[in-house]
Structure 1
Amino acid sequence: MQLKFPHWILSLYLLILMICYAIGEKTEFKQTNENIVHHHDSTTPHMDHSVLVFFTPNELKIGNKIQVYFKKITPSSNTPHFLPKEEANLIPFSHSNLSFLIQLFGFPKSSSQAQAMEDTLKQCEMSPIKGETKFCAASLESMLDFVHQIFGLNTQFKALSTKNSGLLDNILQNYTIMNEPKEVLAPKMVACHTMPYPYVVYYCHYQVSESKVFKVTLMGENGDGVEAVAVCHMDTSQWSSNHVSFRVLGIMPGSSPVCHFFPADNLVWVPLNDGDEGFGDDGLSSVV
């Protein structure tokens, strides 16, 4: 059954466009670990600052300091956008069509853009782990279709995202948790991560195992203020032992829950609670 979207879709589309401005440098979309650190089969050969977003639940308390890398948001007039669903459906999105796609977008075969496209297509076609449902959305409509599939057709939901007061630079620094972290009570959550591609693609996934969503107020050493969204995955026993979080934290699969902060251009979808109104706490439009 194909969903029909009501008038609010324009407001949500404008919201997504605003978030996409946080992807500015992805017009060239050079391959970076930042785009794949949340995927369970990440096998990056070395570690850079962009993967330093992981922590354990016992670190999530007021006054604690966590070393985190938050990417600076740089708006760009060349920022890629979502394609309309009808247009996105006309472009093949598969690794088997990689040569055609590279030629279509005019990238040299040996370029970093071509390599990034290949990595994204491979990630999107990789089999999900046990208990996981995944989907790569190349349009706003297809992303909402996937969230409806997970939550149910009659469930209202909202999007949460990390916000900052204007990051001064792309630096790794200690952030202090300023207030008691607030758990967002939700029976289910869908996480959507941006992927490097010529147009906007979100890697969205849902896990049946328990995950907890938090809003965390952070203050950096240089004065950066961040209202961060964090997710704690309580069961990591099915994750690949090569997942970068285990190298960052020095733990093994299933030995401890793993938490991570979300970059500003990522989304966490959660069902609306009974007390929620038409807009989420972060000002994002709710959807049906």
Structure 2
Amino acid sequence: MDGLTLLIPSSVVREAEDKREATRKLGYVARAAAVFRADRLCVFPDREGERRWGEAFVRIVLQYAATPPHLKGEVWGKRDELQFAGVLPPLRLSSQTTADSSESAVNQGIVTEVGPEGRVRVTCGLQHPISLTVPPSMATPAEGERVTVRISSREPVRARLVDEPTPGFDVATVNLSAALTDAAGRRIATSRHGQQLSIGRLAEFRPDYRDGLTVAFGAPGRGLPEILGIPPEAISAADAAGRSKPYGLDDDHVDSDPGFDRWLNTIPRQGSETVRTEEAMFASLACLTLTE
């Protein structure tokens, strides 16, 4: 799986004082994913770190933020988790509806149901959701996934799924180890205990990013080492020894690391005692997505 995948814990809003603040924070997380052209924004479980708002709330707000504006009302309606959705900043992605020379419209849709025999139900801005056949060139999309629909007629409705990229990113809940196993390219864990990012170090492994990049972030007051049960001093020791993983590849404790290629401190001159997740996302991705 190539492209840019971002991993955040379900405890990402653990320090929010109320639902409005939690929603606004997730809006900035979604903005970071949009600004840096992420393909996937995945939420992995951190049950011990969750407080009032956990995995379901985080996933729903992020999915709502990623939904094209013309589909938000139809797909989501009114939900308690979206009480303060009005504070979410707009993502302002490229146009969700285009037309080509054949006068057919290309709409972004959301899969609302996966049926039998390679068919899916899609909401795509028409009067009603429509049932479409998944073409052989496409993998069957999951419920909630964005798809591209080419509409040749609205009355009667004639439409088909096409294997074309959609602007924006998909949101899903994942197991961290499974996400890293499926990832292509570099798999980066961000932590102030990791190797300090420098121009030379970035140039060292930057070419690998062409095959894909997965970046994981921690939660406020609860970084990735604590979430994964890895002693911070082990990561620092690995840095001092010139190793990319804590403990070393042959150590019995390597199972504590779910499969990262490298632990990086992407803000080596951190001036604040803590860096918020959304701040770390902007700071880290600005460096890691640099082009040659």
Q: Same fold (TM over 0.5)?
A: no
Structure number with greater CO (CA < 8 Å, separation at least 6) is: 1
* TM-score, with length taken from structure 1: 0.31
Q: Specify which structure has the higher proportion of helix.
A: 2
